[in-house]
Amino acid sequence: MQKSRARGVAIPRLRVGQTLLFAGLTSLVIAFAALQAKATDGSAQPLIKSHGISTFGDLKYSADMTHLDYVNPDAPKGGEISIWGFGGFDSLNPYTPKGRAARLSSIFYESLLVGTADEIGSSYGLVAESLEYPEDRSFVIFNLREDVTFSDGSPLTAEDVVFSYELFLEKGLPSFRAVLSQQVDTAEVLGPHRVKYTFKEGFPTRDLPETVGGLPIFSKAHYEANDRDFEESSLEPLLGSGPYVLDEVDVGQSITYKRNPDYWGWDHPLMAGRSNFDEITVEYFGDYNAAFEGFKGGAYTFRNEASSKSWGTGYDFPAVTERGWIKKEAVPDGTLATGQSFVLNTRKERFQDPRVREAIGLMFNFEWSNETLFYGLYARVNSFWENSELAAEGLPSEAELALLEPLAEHLPAGVLDSEPVMAPESSARSSTDRRNLRRASALLDEAGWEVGADGLRRKNGETLRVEFLNDSQTFDRVINPYVDSLRQLGVDAIHNRVDQAEAVNRERAYDFDIVTTQFPMGYIPGAGLKQFFGSETVDVSTRNLMGLQNPAVDALIDHVVAATSQEELETAVSALDRVLRAERFWIPQWYKDAHTIAYYDIYEYPDPLPPYALGQLDFWWYNAEKGEALKAAGAFQ
- C-beta separation of 516 from 338 below 8 A: no
Phi then psi for 187, rounded to 5 degrees? Answer: -130, 125
Q: What's the Cα-to-Cα distance from 573 to each of 357, 558, 561, 570, rounded to whole Å? A: 23, 10, 10, 5
Q: Distance between terminal CA atoms of the chain?
A: 27
- Distance, in Å, from the CA atom of 241 to the CA atom of 218, rounded to the nearest integer, reads 8
- ∠ CA 3-504-361, rounded to 5°: 55
pLDDT: which is higher, 87 or 6:
87
Quick: pLDDT tens for 280-294: 999 999 988 999 999
List, in order, residues 6 or more apart from 432 with CB less than 8 Å away. 363, 365, 484, 485, 488
pLDDT one-digit tens code per residue, 202-260? 888 999 999 999 999 999 999 999 999 999 999 999 999 999 999 999 998 999 999 99
548-577 burial, b for 16+ CB within 10 Å, e for fewer? Answer: bbbebbbbbbbbbbebeebebbbbbbbbbb
- The pTM of the whole model exceeds 0.85: no
Cβ–Cβ < 8 Å for 400, 578: yes
pLDDT tens digits for range 472-504: 888 999 999 999 999 999 999 999 999 988 999
341-591 in CATH: which number? Answer: 3.10.105.10
**Cβ-contact 87, 194 below 8 angstroms:** no
Same fold, 244-334+594-633 and 341-591: no
Strands 302-304 and 139-144: unpaired
Sign of the dihedral defined by the CA atoms of residues 471, 473, 475, 477, in that order: positive
User: Are the beta carbons of 246 and 92 closer than 8 angstroms?
Assistant: yes
Write down the domain spans for the chain.
Answer: 244-334+594-633, 341-591
Q: What is the topology classification, in CATH, of domain 244-334+594-633? A: D-Maltodextrin-Binding Protein; domain 2 (3.40.190)
What confidence score (pLDDT) does residue 240 get?
Answer: 98
Q: Which of 23-37, 48-62, 150-164, 263-277 has the lowest mean pLDDT?
A: 23-37
